[in-house]
Amino acid sequence: MRLSLISNTVWVLWFCCLSFATPTAADPGWSESELALLRMQWIGSLPELPPDPTNKYADNPVAAELGQKLFFDKRLSANGKVACASCHVPELSFTDGLARSKGVGETSRSAPSILGIAHSAWFFWDGRSDSLWSQALGPLESAVEHGGNRSQYARIVYRNPVYRKQYEQLFGALPDLSDSQRFPENAAPVEDEDAAVKWQRMSETDRKAITRVYVNIGKAIAAYERLLMPGVSRFDRYVETVLKEGAPETTLLSADELAGLRLFIGKAMCVTCHQGPLFTNNSFHNVGAPDLATKRPKYILPIFYLFIDKPELDTGRHKGVQQVLNSEFNCLNEYSDATENDCAELRFANKKQKETLGTFKVPTLRNITKTAPYMHEGQFKNLTELLKHYNAAPKAHVGHSELMPLNLEGKQLMQIEAFLHSLSSSPDVADELLRTPEY
């Protein structure tokens, strides 16, 4: 009797082992290590938003309220037609659907999604900013993005009673900008020669007063952007069910999506860089994306192309790390609220030219179906093209690629693509935060 009980127990346990290892459409039989990876990618594993010591207004609700208004305000541009939201469109997961984003001119990069961006230590494709607020300031003075200048923006806040009231509530009194001799309408260290000359003529105290307002505009925008987080996707609901119920009978993911997920965390090795609940390690890698700006057009013979003026090669982080180290707005600078101990990312940033050449920041894959075209210059129009690139792992145009050929079959690439569709979700944000606020 006792022997029979033991035998039955063994059978039951063995059956459990067998059922654990036999994949079916509803139960793909995840191993313990695969389950650990699924949990790691699950939105439920997203840690609490880390504090931003560089911005003491980062979690201030009034700052976020002001920041939202500024984010959607087209007056913050040279032609009154460009807002942050022009390239970071909420409906497109805060991208714009363009290979090269357009402001007052054309940029050289595709606007990345900013959902969940506050979890990153580096900003822009090349990490040339080390805080969210300093990132927000870059496009505002870029000649091809907003095209304006800090004096102009300070004056917008100064003249608008709603902005002024909220600004002064947060940051204290604005400087008196009524004297346009002391404070010209357009003055800043920008490409525009007239504005640059006027900026040089201002006293250092006045330049700092204007820059302080400009920085506070960035800090308010950052406070708003910190609220923008991705919501729960079908993938997350699937993982949650698996973690709670073991091997559920679920139709949350199709057989192809499940096969794609297994490849994503396995043979295709996507998870090595697209790791964590935001599907990015927020680090810099060279995946051998072609440099379209310097690529020879087919109609020009190679011999002639040698003599043509070409745009500067986009070296990514290689240039970005030098820019952030020299930035007037980096973590160690006077406009940052951080102490030196808070600036470890900047202090220990990899500055080795050979290792950073041609590396770009890994983007989030959440809502990837809404963020085409792909890569920093929109080099790939769709996911099919993108996955073919990863499968082939061509030699890098700049630096050396970290990819290795995956040798996946067409069907397997299609399955990964199917899986990526399961990462779509609405932002985990109240609707009123996704549009121009009324005021």
Among 19, 24, 33, 169, binds other proteins (CB under 8 A): 33
Burial class (CB in 10 A: 0-12, 13-18, 19+), 44: exposed
The nearer residue to other proteins, 17 or 300, going by C-beta atoms, is: 17
CA dist 366 and 389 (Å) reads 20
Joined together, the tokens standing for residue 57 give: 């207004």
- CB contact set of 342 (below 8 Å; sequence gap of 6+): 53, 54, 331
Give residues with Cβ within 8 angstroms of 115, minimum separation 6: 93, 94, 228, 229, 230, 364, 366, 367, 427
According to the binding rule CB under 8 A, does residue 201 interact with other proteins?
A: no
Nearest distance from C-beta of residue 351 to other proteins, angstroms: 6
Chain positions 282 to 301 lying near other proteins, rule: CB under 8 A, are 282-286
Number of residues in contact with other proteins under rule CB under 8 A: 36
What is the SS3 assignment for 214? helix
Judged by beta carbon, residue 211 or residue 282, the one nearer other proteins is 282
For residue 321, give the DSSP letter.
H
Binding mask 138-177 for other proteins (x = CB under 8 A): ----------------------------------------
Please state the closest distance from residue 13 (CB atom) to other proteins, in A.
6
What kind and span of H or E run contains 285?
strand 284-285
Nearer to other proteins, 20 or 158 (CB): 20
- How many angstroms separate the CA atoms of 41 and 261, rounded? 11
Kindly indicate which of the ranges 70-78, 222-230, 280-288, 412-420 contains the residues binding other proteins, using the contact rule CB under 8 A.
Answer: 280-288
Q: Which stretch binds other proteins (CB under 8 A): 31-39, 59-67, 144-152, 425-433?
A: 31-39
Which one of residues 45, 180, 272, 382 is an interface residue with other proteins (CB under 8 A)?
A: 272
Spatial neighbors of 405 by CB under 8 A, at least 6 apart, are: 391, 392, 393
Q: Please tell me whether residue 32 binds other proteins under the rule CB under 8 A.
A: yes
By CB under 8 A, the residues from 339 to 368 that bind other proteins are 344-345, 347-352, 355
d(CA 341, CA 347): 9
Binding residues for other proteins, rule: CB under 8 A, are 3, 7, 10-11, 13-14, 17-18, 20, 31-33, 36, 271-273, 275-276, 281-286, 344-345, 347-352, 355, 400, 402, 404
